[in-house]
Structure 1
Amino acid sequence: MKSRLFLLILFLFNPFWAQSLLAQIPQVPAVVEFADLTVKITPQAQREIQLDVDAQYRNPTYFKVKQERVNLYMPIVERELRNQGVPEDLKYLVIQESGLIPDAVSTSNAVGFWQFKQGTAEEVGLRVDAQIDERKSIAASSRGAAVYLKKHNSQLNNWMTALVSYQMGLGGAKAYFGSQYTGKKIIEVDRNTHWYFKKYLAHKIAYENQISVFVSNQRLAEVQVQGPVTMAALAKRFGVSEDHLKEFNKWAANGKVPAGSYTLYYVKGGELPMEPAVTKSEEKPKSTQTYSASNKNSPAYKQANSFPKISGNTTKANQPNQITVNELDGVQAAKTTSPSKFSEEIGLKEKKFLKLNDMEEGERIETGKYYYTEKKKTSAEVETHVVQPGETLWMISQKYGIRLSSLKSKNRIRRDAELKPGMVLNLREPRKRGEQIPFIPVTQPVQQNRTVTATTETKRVETISKPVEEPSVRSQPERITHTVSSGETLFAISRKYGVSVAEVKSWNNIGSQNIITIGQKLVIFKP
């Protein structure tokens, strides 16, 4: 425990360490070798993937923590993939799926390192019952994932499509890709390539040169133990704490190993790797509270710039039944119009359309924006969202496909006037009564006594007069409306105003495909 605190303190108070990490951010190349494929990446796709790579490095402390987990678990992942004849390149998928958190749970109730639902886990030979959940065992779940991917590749005959099938299933992948990639060894990644594969490439590029870099002397030991036996008894045998064994053996329910032979994991030497910053400590006063990603109720604060996630036939995104938005049926507005005309065009009744999108009568449909044609979810895919300048509750709810009422109730916020830049909103777990909403610094300068007048183009922006209590408030950014013209890209627009592509996407609720259309009006907060 003392060594964990020492490492954390050493890092936090060594800015040169953080700067050196930021200087090492890998750049997305034009060509990548993946499994047995050669992947050619277009310049536009390079920029899109680079945003996700940069996001991995944005918080140096969190990156080092994640890197520590990668170096503990990856040798086992590589071994299990290799034993099943699956290319080791697919090991980066486990980072994408769970961040190597053993008890990670998705909104669709997928669990563990490789995010298996119970039915699928049992199909690949994993045990899931009241005593054992092998989805939380790094070796067993990696073996199951390898079996699953190998089976799909045998039918798809392409490791890229097999990888995407991990997200959409074998039937979904067959329907989505058809036979266009069957047997192909050279593929091109562009703006229309499925977001899941581009997200994978970002994780591969971010971590492939970091394995075995900045590793403590810790390693994950594997020993066979015979049950029934308690973790308390095993802790004494191996010279570690009971909490330590429970942390690395969450596959065993209730801290007990049942009858039979099982693989037990512990860090050699008895030291836990650093937990993700920021960590929660009950010994500190509320005013300085921090949070731990290992705690179910505490989020890892990482801005999600890949939302909304757009997939499907994006060339016909403005037609119904062509795309999904955050895995929900949706459509993109081709022009600014009224809800009545738009709902008629897509074959929905106006009242139903307004209800699905948490909109009110009289609001406008905006060019390039995404709208849902089926009911939004009560929780988002990610844990949290960091509020950016100019955002409203409705914008955030649309970005993640979460119902506006759910977003408000989870955070005990009712009005846009209560939002402040840097505020960390819960998207999955409800905030406890009396719990303070945490803040983190945002790159865009925040505004004090900000007043934005609503127009017909942005009905959801309300007047905010409540002062922001953030320290070091700088000068107010200028709010500009930019109309997209022919040939413009997000990169060119961001360069024009001196902001990042990620910021433009966040301010305008632009999805992972980076789609903008001629005539679309973009909100820019120019420094």
Structure 2
Amino acid sequence: MSRLASPATRRTRKTSLLVALNIWIQRQLPMTFEFRKVLAFRSILDRRILKGKINQVVRLSFLVLFLLVQGCSTLPFYSNDEPKSYVNLATVDWAPEPHFYSETSLPTKKPSDNALRDGTSFREAKLPPERNDYLKQLSGSFELDHHLDNHRVQQEIAKLQRNPNYFNSLQFRLERYLPFICDKVVSLNLPGELCLIPIIESSLDPFAFSSGGAAGFWQFIPSTAKRYGLKIDWWVDERRDLLASTDAALDYLVYLNGRFDDWLLAIAAYNWGEGRVARAKKQRSSDVGFFDLRVPAETAEYVPRLLAFAAIFAAPEAYNVHLVINRADIDEQALAIVDTIDQLDVSKAASTSGISVETLYRINPALNQWSTHPRGPHRLMVPARNREGIQTALVNIPPDERVSWIRHKIVRNETLGDLALHYGTDVATMLKANKMTSTRIIAGDYLLIPRSTIPIERYPTPDLNRNTNGAVHIVRGGESLWTIAKRYRVTTDTLMRTNRIGPSEIIRPGRKVVIPQKASPEPVVREIRYKIKNGDSLATIARKFNLSVSAIANRNALDPEKYIHPGQELTIDVNVNSARSR
């Protein structure tokens, strides 16, 4: 009776077969192939059973090489990255049109005869007075090769030609924000094309918000924003500050260009990440350009889209695109910076300046609360035509009238957090105002606390966390945030956000928890596309964007009882101020 081979014997047989196969492969038609340069093979070669038994450089026949490549085509390119669709820019012929341009478009048209050539001749032609004079000036700062013979760039130009209403929908923002950004770019002697990046990133919408938590004109994620000095706290979100976010973005782009010595690679790294671009570049050779790299589909569209925008901004008429930006219209919308000297109540600034509170918040979208940030920068954006008069008026506000102060007597069981919530300020500001070095307070002592001059709810701020007029619940023994949220029919996230409670913080008996009750002001809502990742569920996605499962399911015609799958795309209406982006 035959006996079954032991596991060790079976492993030895497999090794012998693999070694024999390796020898046979090397005798085939000559074609050198180095296994170790392929990440998919590297982990296999390092296994103990194969280590040292198979040559890492072999000569393969075309047939065997084809089978190996086909067999490995399903392996991940980077084991630690999320699944992505990669595109080889050197060989790509076509890619699906992204959800970037307006849905309203004319029937597909072929580009005109002039559509795929640079607009140099147009820029040199004489223009009628006051007609597109700003675009002519801007195009003179363009320095990059627009690669108009590249198929991807041609595709992006054609998409813009098929969507003639796209630039019309951006006209107001182009006139208000773009000149400010472009003037900054030009003042630093950087390529003028860089100032078009915020159009692609956010459509120049300060409240633009992505599924990954990026926000603002330049779509900074919180970690990169803080790395470049942007404040994201109770008072402000400087990713929505035109001046601060532009300075940070240009610093980042200059750094990326210094690292890669190639502006197109720097722009790709801004979108995809500098580490990923460095790895993709390392896999080719040191002197490759962007169009030689293997990059995800999003980045494969991103850089050609910027080049397409630059070509059209340089010569809109050459591409049959209606795009007019005149200096006279810019001057009408222009904003300017005024110095507030110190922290300033927005209501006081508005009444002193002779403009409405609503207007002041609209042109200063970074503001979250009733005043400017107590730790600066002490400035506001105002209509440029009124700048001198507003600056004079703000300078003349007496120091004791810039914010209101209250002298509060501390009672037993009060904390600085309770007082900050009640008076609409933060703990750091109270510590600074009272020259305190710790948060310990004693009943019977007094604190000076800054507070708004009018009721908090009358400030039309975008921040939804300023509600201090809800019910107050006193925590009892055995209660948790979950039980309190269930009792009052709110989410735990809402309680944590309103009461500034950290995810691992313990709430103790006797603590006051504010339960928001009043209706919030009109939310700032943006539609985004979210691609489902491994481990996602409707519940986790709903928590991430502070929505209900039913809201997401109804928006996408889904059955909440059924599974969702990685790679599936959802349309989500996000309130950019309440979504969890930090």
Q: Which TM bucket (shorter chain)?
A: 0.3 to 0.5
TM-score, scaled to structure 1: 0.46
Task: Report the structure number with the largest CA radius of gyration.
Answer: 2
From the two aligned structures, give the one with the greater helix fraction.
Answer: 2
- TM-score, length of structure 2 as denominator length: 0.42
